[in-house]
Chains A and B, each alone.
Chain A
């Protein structure tokens, strides 16, 4: 047999096989919808978890750095602050000391056990609360890295503690921690892939469902991986542009 025709046959076989596989995994029975719907769920969970994470993270960071900076205040305020700081420390220790998957399972099977509730809502809460702990430490580092003189300048103009934080410290902190925050959200996007453990049909679960129906693993999982990769690359670039924008605004 001619060598070239053998290779040609192999190649054409490959393409026929690939075509068949592709058809089976994505086109037949509109299986691509598992991926598209899953992607939607993944994006929704990530987006809302990010929002919860930012709000929670900033809140915890502000409480903790207020506690650390604590100037003079009434004994009552001091007591309240101490209690809040203690709660924040418990939160940070527990969340950062246990795997996110365990947290997700506990929230779903224990905390929300007796209520029928939207699974994506549970995932949003779990990943948001988890992310908040990491964001909090990033933001606290950011607040601490702002020059004390900024704080004093704000206070000397007559701004109270909260106003100084809001108008002067937080905007600068936000700019400083943006790269680290962005990174955290890219991590979060990927971490949500364990949401399938509570039978939430996210992107990963979508690919897995296809796999279990077609008994072919390669294409569905490759597709899932490619979509994650694409999103991460896209997000990273978006972040870079945003950073450059922020930096150029004061050049």
Chain B
């Protein structure tokens, strides 16, 4: 396994948790990502915004190699995970992912959804995994639904379960791809509330979203993407109040 800096071991306090270098992704001739570079540090809450088709999802999905990058490098906790020889499954356990469409397993109860991966992959006892799952369920106010099947839950409940399912693996970073876009408006708040809680606990997060107000409130860093590139990176204040590029100004005019 290659290390970003072979002489020095990875230091989570000073080195970026995720370091993306000149990331490229082509879909049969279409350049979805065109040289994206970004450092994400422990505790960062990075929001990725931009117009539709700008490559936000592709970027996020490259981070855990759900999408296979065409070029460039991604380092996660000091390990180059774009190296083909790396066991990506090991690293994915440390990168939780939440999808727009929830993707709960419909044939499993809530509890099983949450405990299957820890039990099978981290060799935690069933009792221990369930205790941990119940703690998380309690936190998102769904302790009474542990025996429910996903199709018995509302959209907001499903997404909250999807978040705690990922948390059960005790990930070092959480990736969100438009977690509230498939929800009825009245259910958006309950999901954002859970994410807000995670941010307050200093969970490292990368969030693709169209919820600008939420980005302004929670983000430590906002990344603006267009045409497969990062055009601007800044704090919410810099991003909303002092946009530098014309593209971002236009984008903000449209969405605010």
**Residues of chain A having any CB pair with chain B under 8 Å:** 71-72, 74, 147, 149-150, 152-160, 163, 167-168, 171-172, 175, 249-251
Contact with A along B61-85 (1 / 0, CB 8 A): 0001010100000000000000010
Q: Complex formed: what's the CA distance from A178 to B165 in Å?
A: 29
Q: Is the CB of A251 within 8 A of B149?
A: yes
CA–CA, A71 and B99, complex, Å: 20
- Distance between Cα atoms of A217 and B150 in the complex (Å): 58
Q: When the two chains form the complex, which single residue of B90, B105, B106, B150 contacts A158, counting CB atoms closer than 8 Å?
A: B90
Chain B, range 102-136, C-beta contacts under 8 Å to A: 103-107, 116-117, 120-121
User: Are the CB atoms of A175 and B107 closer together than 8 Å?
Assistant: yes
Judge whether A250 and B106 touch: CB under 8 Å. yes
How many B residues have CB within 8 A of the partner chain?
29
Min Cβ gap B103→A in Å is 4
A156 touches B120 (CB 8 A): no
- Bound form: Cα–Cα A154–B96 in Å: 11
Which among A154, A157, A167 is the interface contact of B169 at CB below 8 angstroms?
A: A157
B121 touches A150 (CB 8 A): no
Taken together as a complex, chains A and B put the C-alpha atoms of A159 and B97 apart, in Å, by: 13
Chain A residues with Cβ under 8 A from B152's Cβ?
Answer: 251
Q: Are B99 and A152 in contact (CB under 8 A)?
A: yes
Give the shortest distance, in Å, between A84 (CB) and chain B (any CB): 22
Is the CB–CB distance between A149 and B99 below 8 Å?
Answer: yes
Judging by beta carbons under 8 Å apart, are B151 and A158 in contact? no
Q: Are A167 and B116 in contact (CB under 8 A)?
A: yes
Distance in Å from the Cβ of B79 to the closest Cβ of chain A?
A: 15
Tell me the nearest residue of chain A to B118, going by C-beta.
A157
Q: What is the interface of chain B, defined by CB distance below 8 A to chain A? A: 64, 66, 68, 84, 89-90, 92-93, 95-97, 99, 101, 103-107, 116-117, 120-121, 149-152, 165-166, 169
Q: Which of A71, A158, A249 contacts B68 (CB 8 A)?
A: A71
How distant is the Cα of A171 from the Cα of B169 in the complex, in angstroms?
A: 22
Task: Contact check, B117 vs A158: say whether CB atoms are below 8 A apart.
Answer: yes
Some 30 contacts from A to B, beta carbons below 8 A apart, are A71-B68, A74-B84, A147-B101, A152-B97, A152-B103, A153-B103, A153-B105, A155-B92, A156-B64, A156-B92, A156-B97, A157-B166, A157-B169, A158-B89, A158-B90, A158-B92, A158-B121, A158-B169, A159-B120, A160-B89, A167-B120, A168-B105, A171-B107, A172-B107, A249-B149, A250-B106, A250-B149, A250-B151, A251-B149, A251-B151
Residues of A within 8 A of B90 (CB): 158
| Cβ contact within 8 Å between A153 and B92 | no
- How far apart are the CA atoms of A180 and B47 in the complex, in Å? 46
A159-B121, A163-B120 given. 17 additional CB < 8 A pairs? A71-B68, A152-B99, A155-B66, A156-B66, A157-B93, A157-B117, A158-B90, A158-B117, A158-B121, A158-B169, A159-B89, A159-B117, A163-B121, A168-B105, A171-B107, A250-B106, A251-B152
B106 partner residues in chain A, CB cutoff 8 A: 172, 250
Give the docked Cα–Cα distance between A150 and B99 (Å).
Answer: 10
With A159-B121, A250-B151 as given contacts, are A152 and B66 in contact (CB-CB < 8 Å)? Answer: yes
B89: chain A residues at CB < 8 Å are: 155, 158-160
Q: Which residue of B lies closest to A171 (CB)?
A: B107
C-alpha gap A250/B104 in the complex (Å): 13
Which residues of chain B come closer than 8 Å to A249, judged between CB atoms? 149
Which of A74, A149, A153, A251 has the most B CB atoms < 10 Å from its CB? A153
Q: Which of B96, B105, B117 is close to A150, meaning CB atoms less than 8 Å apart?
A: B105
Which listed residue, B95, B99, B107, B169, touches A153 by the CB 8 Å rule? B99
CA distance A74 to B87 in the complex (A): 12
B117: which A residues are within 8 A, CB to CB? 157-159
Residues of the B chain whose Cβ atoms lie less than 8 Å from the Cβ of A147: 101, 103
A219: min CB distance to chain B, Å: 49
Task: Give the shortest distance, in Å, between B36 (CB) and chain A (any CB).
Answer: 20
A residues in contact with B165, CB < 8 Å = 157
Cα distance, A74 to B165, chains bound together (Å): 31
- Give the CA-CA distance A40 to B2 in the complex, in Å: 63
Residues of the B chain whose Cβ atoms lie less than 8 Å from the Cβ of A74:
84
